[in-house]
């Protein structure tokens, strides 16, 4: 089911099996050992340091890091497909943990592409030596989030976060919210407006900003209903000064960030699939063990019908996920469209899978100590991760019908 061996290279199967062993032996026992731990209001106490240490030992943190710094090289022609199957496995154990590591993978690729060599050497060396080291990608702001990514081609929607060159430093002022890994990251990739006279797509730059930079303030951890082992945060920049060489891309940061955005949507879909697989596997075990009405549940036709429906939805998501990941790897012209499609499709289909899982567990489906309700909470988060459903659908239509889809911003 889902990622079958016939779609994988030998290297991908080895990576999948390594990740599966880590999830089965480390992640799932941790999650099941204390169902209340994710609800601790101290974000630093939720995830045991051992979880990331064991991920490091398994090589799962090193993906995307160049080999010369001790990272694991991925075959470029299948990179998105490989990351998708590993993210699926991780999310089967816990979607918050998957999101922690996925952010690191994507940002590592971004840094390897755009950072000068001396910064790569400094940060990748530190990253590889510190298992708890996390990275965050700072895009979303309080005024306007996914609606900015249609894209609107008007200056009115430029980012509120600004960066001004002052001698040999850039001075950043602004605020970012809903940032994955934002609460506990050690390094941030920050997007800021550097040219007010043009639209966002042409006047936004990206910067590497270390956590200990004066003027960078992590103000809160957002308490979410799901994915709670990834600490989502808010960051304020108050005359935050970074050296001039810490700029990654000047003015064309959004245009150059496709290497982050396209795989990102594939990986959101992969995380959704992993959540659905976890819910499905636990439900299949339950309906083969639980006796109701004098027979095990799987022998009841209504139950069997729902199990079939869950399996079909999972296969459909996996098929579109493979198709979209292949399009990204092949740099196909329809890659952006497929990435948005699979992100939307997977998030909605997996919510339905988790709904079946909860209902087939009866009253147990709502019980914290059983854990099925966690899959539903985690799945709901992905409905708006990396863009809301409506905005993603707008982007799909605009890519298919650029001349007739209409514009969504600008003067009346």
Domain of residue 29, CATH code: 1.10.540.10
Q: Which pLDDT tens digit goes with each residue over 227-272?
A: 999 999 999 999 999 999 999 999 888 887 777 778 889 999 999 9
CATH code of the domain containing 161: 2.40.110.10
Residue 74 is predicted with a pLDDT of 84
The pTM of this model reads 0.94
Tell whether 20 is covered by a domain.
yes
Q: How confident is the prediction for the chain on average, in pLDDT?
A: 92
Out of 98, 133, 168, pick the residue that ends a domain: 133
Distance between CA atoms of 42 and 183, rounded to whole angstroms? 11
Decide if 412 is inside a domain.
Answer: no
Residues 198 and 334 in one domain: no
Q: Do 201 and 284 belong together in one domain?
A: no
How does residue 395 score in pLDDT terms, banded at 50, 70 and 90?
Answer: confident
Q: Binning pLDDT at 50, 70 and 90, where does residue 203 land?
A: confident
Within this chain, do residues 349 and 312 fall inside the same structural domain, yes or no? yes
Query: How many domains does the chain contain in total?
Result: 3
Q: Are residues 373 and 278 in the same domain?
A: yes
Radius of gyration from C-alpha coordinates of the chain:
21
Q: For residue 398, name the pLDDT band (cuts at 50, 70, 90).
A: confident
pLDDT tens-digit map of 318-361: 999 999 999 999 999 999 999 999 999 999 999 999 999 999 99
pLDDT for 284-294, tens place per residue?
Answer: 999 999 998 88
410 found inside a domain: no
Residue 223: Cβ within 10 Å count = 11
Q: Which of 254, 286, 318 is the last residue of a domain?
A: 254
Are residue 166 and residue 122 in the same domain, yes or no?
no
Specify if 409 maps to a domain: no
Do 156 and 249 belong together in one domain?
yes
Give percent above pLDDT 90 in the chain.
76
CA distance 149 to 162: 18
Q: Which long-range contacts (CB under 8 A, 24 or more apart) does 141-148 make?
A: 141/174, 141/175, 141/176, 141/177, 142/175, 142/177, 145/178, 146/384, 146/386, 146/387, 146/388, 146/391, 146/392, 147/391, 147/408, 148/200
Residues 388, 282 share a domain: yes
In a domain, 198, yes or no: yes
Where does a domain end: 99, 133, 167? 133
The pLDDT, as a whole number, for residue 201 is 77
Q: Does residue 295 share a domain with residue 200? A: no
Domain ranges, residue 163: 136-254
Is a pLDDT exceeding 90 seen at residue 22?
A: yes
Residue 244 and residue 261 share a domain: no
CA distance 371 to 367: 7
Greater model confidence, 228 or 197: 228
Say yes or no: 370 and 286 in one domain: yes
Q: Is 405 a domain residue?
A: no
What pLDDT score does 196 carry? Answer: 84
Clarify whether residues 390 and 280 are in a common domain.
yes
Same domain, yes or no, for 142 and 242? yes
The pLDDT score that the predictor gives to residue 100 is: 96
More confident residue, 195 or 312: 312
CATH of the domain at 370: 1.20.140.10
């Amino acid at each position: 089911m889902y990622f079958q061996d016939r779609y994988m290279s030998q290297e991908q199967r080895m990576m999948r099996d390594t990740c599966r062993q880590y999830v089965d032996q480390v992640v799932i026992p941790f999650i099941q050992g204390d169902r209340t731990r994710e609800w601790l209001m101290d974000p630093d106490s939720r995830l045991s340091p051992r979880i990331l240490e064991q991920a490091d030992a398994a090589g799962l943190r090193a993906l995307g890091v160049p080999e010369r710094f001790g990272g694991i090289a991925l075959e470029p022609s299948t990179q998105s497909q490989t990351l998708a199957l590993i993210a699926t496995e991780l999310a089967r154990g816990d979607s918050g943990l998957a999101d922690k590591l996925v952010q690191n993978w994507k940002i590592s690729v971004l840094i390897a592409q755009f950072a000068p060599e001396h910064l790569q050497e400094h940060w990748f060396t530190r990253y590889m030596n510190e298992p708890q080291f996390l990275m965050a990608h700072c895009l979303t702001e309080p005024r306007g989030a996914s609606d900015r990514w249609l894209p609107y081609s008007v200056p009115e929607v430029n980012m509120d976060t600004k960066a001004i060159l002052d001698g040999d430093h850039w001075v950043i002022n602004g605020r970012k919210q809903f940032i994955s890994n934002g609460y506990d990251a050690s390094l941030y990739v920050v997007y800021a407006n550097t040219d007010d006279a043009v639209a966002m797509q042409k006047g936004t730059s990206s910067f590497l900003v270390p956590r200990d930079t004066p003027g960078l303030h992590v103000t809160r951890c957002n308490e979410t209903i799901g994915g709670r082992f990834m600490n989502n945060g808010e960051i304020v920049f108050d005359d935050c000064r970074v050296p001039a060489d810490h700029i990654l891309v000047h003015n064309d940061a959004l245009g150059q960030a496709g290497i982050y955005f396209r795989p990102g949507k594939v990986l959101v879909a992969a995380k959704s699939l992993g959540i659905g697989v976890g819910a499905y596997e636990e439900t299949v075990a339950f309906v083969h063990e639980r006796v109701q009405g004098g027979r095990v549940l799987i022998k009841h036709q209504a139950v069997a019908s729902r199990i079939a429906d869950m399996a079909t939805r999972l296969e459909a998501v996996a098929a579109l996920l493979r198709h979209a990941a292949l399009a990204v790897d092949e740099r196909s012209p329809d890659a952006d469209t497929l990435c948005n499609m699979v992100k939307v499709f997977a998030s909605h289909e997996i919510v339905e899978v988790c709904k079946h899982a909860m209902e087939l567990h009866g009253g147990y489906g709502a019980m914290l100590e059983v854990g099925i309700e966690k899959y539903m909470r985690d799945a709901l988060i992905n409905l708006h991760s990396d863009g809301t459903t409506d905005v993603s659908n707008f982007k799909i239509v605009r890519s298919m019908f650029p001349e007739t889809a209409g514009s969504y911003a600008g003067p009346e």
